[in-house]
Chains A and B, each alone.
Chain A
Amino acid sequence: MSDVVLETRDLVKHFPLTRGILFKTKIGAVRAVDGINLQLHRGETLGVVGESGCGKSTLAKLLVGLEKPTSGSIVVRGQDTSKLSGEAIRRARRNIQLVMQDPYTSLNPRMTVGDIIGEPYEIHTDVAPKGDRRRRVQELLELVGLNPEHINRYPHQFSGGQRQRIGIARALALKPEIILCDEPVSALDISIQAQVMNLLDELQKEMGLSYIFIAHDLSVVRHIADRVAVMYLGKVVESGTDVQIYDQPTHPYTQALLSAVPVPDPTLRGHRDQIVLEGDVPSPANPPSGCRFRTRCWKVQDICATQEPLLQISAKSAHPSACHFAEVRDVVHATQ
């Protein structure tokens, strides 16, 4: 389809584990991202959810080109970015920009806001001629709801929410088609979270942006995403539209994850279908055989240890779900 702006094909990133100082021998690998296929369409928001250590942030780094994939490819507008070199890489990167999690550490404290937002123009000089940059930066400040007169201030003079707006303005500077948000609101207070989410929403409508929205907060992702992919130990275990994932989840991990999210409504206390998982996420250096979730799953049978379930549509799951025993269980609304 022509409206696919970004696609990953069997994307893999392994970090080698080595022993020794002078003569390093490889003794294994952390399989942070292990075969991921995603598609992002124009103007949509793809949510990626998962717990810490599932590979969300490695995925983000791969997509913006901060890490090189071990294998697999990232295709942006029909162009495989791993096959590009030099100037072409730089041009391709322009199209996909990153908004980072922590607005306190992702802005250089010694640079003014104008320099921070204008820095992309130093590298991509053809986007804005030198005399025009200040005006561009002021436009961007206005676009994200900050006072353009504050262009000469430093990051410490802004609050957390305002700093995140600066981060968003910087990401917009090169007029990208895709913005990758890595936990953009998790460091912010609740009353500020809504402000930033609404801003992202408005910008998307205005500029036709596509978002990849990585977060651990499932409520936030439900609010903003059109489609959702659930990750566990470097793999996507279930993907679908937001309604499919939240109202008809078929993978046991998704169900457990959703049931663990507290709902701000005390009348549902004790009436919700709560699944409390045992234990912790296994190490990605030594993932379980077969299905990676089997060590914590209550549906586990012999086949789960020997045969890895594929991410596919099955009789009982209308959307792709990587479970041999996929079955709909509405944990979010179910009341006992």
Chain B
Amino acid sequence: MTEVSVDFSPALRGTEQSAPLLQVEDLRVEFRTRVGVAKAINGVSFEVNSGETLAILGESGCGKSVTAQAIMGILDSPPGFITGGEIRYRGVDLLKRTDEERRLVRANKIAMIFQDALSALNPVFTVGFQLAELFRKHRGMSRADAKKRSIELLDLVKIPAARQRVNDFPHQFSGGMRQRVMIAMALALDPELLIADEPTTALDVTVQAQIMGLLGELQRERNMGLILITHDMGVVADVADRINVMYAGRIVEKAPVYDIYAKPSHPYTKALLESIPRVDLKGQQLNVIKGLPPNLTRIPAGCAFNPRCRYTQDVCKADPVPPLHQIQPGIASACHFWKEVRGE
């Protein structure tokens, strides 16, 4: 029997360790549907480094999950198409590489966890098999070794009785435990960047606290970069270093976490902060954002937020779209009237 030689060294040619972990530059994605072209992402740029947590905050349909899918290379295509921009991992533009090379990056370098662990896991295989598969396919381990590593991983994410539970099927786990299995799977091959797409939205608050605690711990231990995609401003306040707020496929505000809550620079961020009830305050007046997020096939001219904004003037209603104004180092707002919004 001849051994088929497979190269299990997951190096991607051309990367430079000194380059930033991930840089997204002017990314554009559209979905070509029967009812028209939906412009899901319209020029998004950001950067994440090792050990850092970047939160992408926004409501449904703002393009935050599509951004993650584009980075991972798991965008449904068709109907989704990346129409422009660059996604650079350690200096290498992934969009210019072959599917084979991208597969090297996936799970090895950049991994992702999803909102709904039950539908992300395969229901007909044990979690042990699904974990071991990663080691067998990507690292060429034997079944026995791969199983041993799977048990270690389940231990790492604090699943009790890992040795027994490795033989259980996904439906035999509770929601929180399933999310732990997903985290174990994402961390299996020691990625440098983890993308967490609404990791705790489907969970109860006490379980959410457990999972966010675990994620933070693992991130610190491994000095991983983390992109946290969420709509929950409470979770963001607890864990993020920097925040990008998205609206209608664009980043409308970028700021460090302390600045954004203390002094938002975009009317949308400000309105969001005023519209969420807080558990530690009583009798606060909730400020309502009137209207609805725009239909992505018909994004309003000018600033996409102008029909719902209380600062709107004529300049907001006409193209060009307001660019991200640099206010201070690290703080930027895509609003003509950021001074008024900040009360300066």
Contact = CB atoms under 8 A, between A and B. Distances in A.
A265 interface: yes
A222 B271 CA distance: 20
Given A161-B292, A246-B279, A264-B261, A190 B233 contact: yes
B208 A260 contact: yes
A257 B207 CA distance: 10
Contacts of A279: 160
Given A257-B206, A265-B237, A274-B209, A194 B288 contact: yes
A262 interface: yes
B165 interface: no
B70 interface: no
A301 interface: no
Contacts of B258: 266-267
B286 A223 contact: yes
A191 B282 contact: no
A256 B278 contact: no
A261 B205 contact: yes
Interface in A261-305: 261-269, 274, 276-277, 279-280
Given A190-B275, A191-B272, A269-B237, A276 B210 contact: yes
A163 to B, nearest CB: 12
A147 interface: no
Interface string A189-218: 111111101100000000000000000101
Of B284, B289, B292, most buried by chain A (CB within 10 Å of CB) is: B292
Nearest to A158: B292
Of A189, A197, A243, most buried by chain B (CB within 10 Å of CB) is: A189
B273 interface: yes
Given A191-B272, A194-B288, A274-B209, A261 B279 contact: yes
A190 B271 CA distance: 10
B276 A190 contact: yes
Given A216-B205, A276-B213, A258 B275 contact: no
B121 to A, nearest CB: 18
A263 B234 contact: yes
Contacts of A261: 205, 234, 279
A189 B205 contact: no
Given A195-B288, A216-B205, A243 B213 contact: no
Contacts of B276: 190, 193-194, 219, 264
Q: How many interface residues does chain B have, given as a range?
A: 35 or more
Contacts, number: 128
Given A262-B238, A277-B210, A51 B204 contact: yes
A132 B207 CA distance: 51
A332 B288 contact: no
A153 to B, nearest CB: 15
Given A52-B204, A219-B277, A191 B59 contact: yes
Given A260-B206, A262-B234, A193 B293 contact: no
Of B257, B277, B281, B287, most buried by chain A (CB within 10 Å of CB) is: B277
Nearest to B295: A159
Contact of B174 (A192, A266, A280): A280
Contacts of A193: 275-276
Contacts of A311: none
Nearest to A189: B59
B287 A51 contact: no
B176 interface: yes
Nearest to A223: B277
B205 A191 contact: no
Interface string A38-53: 0000000000000110
Contact of A223 (B205, B284, B287, B293): B284
B260 to A, nearest CB: 8
A242 B280 CA distance: 11
B235 interface: yes
Interface in B38-82: 59-60
Nearest to B233: A264
Nearest to B61: A189
B227 interface: no
Given A191-B272, A222-B282, A264-B276, A51 B206 contact: yes
Nearest to B283: A223
Contact of A332 (B205, B235, B236, B279): B279
Given A218-B205, A260-B208, A267-B262, 8 more contacts: A189-B293, A194-B286, A195-B289, A222-B279, A246-B282, A258-B279, A262-B238, A269-B238
15 contacts: A189-B60, A195-B288, A216-B204, A218-B205, A219-B277, A223-B277, A262-B235, A262-B237, A263-B234, A263-B237, A264-B237, A265-B237, A265-B278, A267-B262, A280-B207
Closest 10 CB pairs of A and B: A262-B234, A223-B277, A51-B204, A260-B209, A194-B275, A191-B289, A264-B233, A189-B59, A194-B286, A260-B205
